[in-house]
Amino acid sequence: EQKDSLELARLQLEEERRDKAQELAYKDAEIAEQKQRMEEMAIEFGDMLKETLDRMGAQIDLQASSWEQESGAGVAKRLEQFKIGVPTEL
């Protein structure tokens, strides 16, 4: 009777170990999947930031050239008023 009880306890222990190993493998797979998703999201976010930066740079360039075209002469006149720039009548 003790042998049967011991054998039953051993079988239960083996079954418990298999279950725990299976749970651990599932959790490891889940962790690997989450890490992969995080890496993909980081790459996507980096691309979004680069796109935004490129757009902002283009907008700044556009505004700067527009400002230079529109107010270049005006700035020279104002500087002349303060005797800072070169006279506009060259």
- Predicted model pTM: 0.54
pLDDT at 90 over 60: no
| Predicted confidence (pLDDT) per residue in 44-65, tens digit | 999 999 999 999 999 888 887 7
In angstroms, the CA 80 to CA 87 distance is 6
In terms of pLDDT, which residue wins out, 20 or 66? 20
Per-chain mean pLDDT for the chain: 85
Its sign, for the CA torsion 71, 72, 78, 79, is positive
Please name the helix (run of DSSP H) or strand (run of DSSP E) that holds residue 60, with its range, or none.
helix 2-81
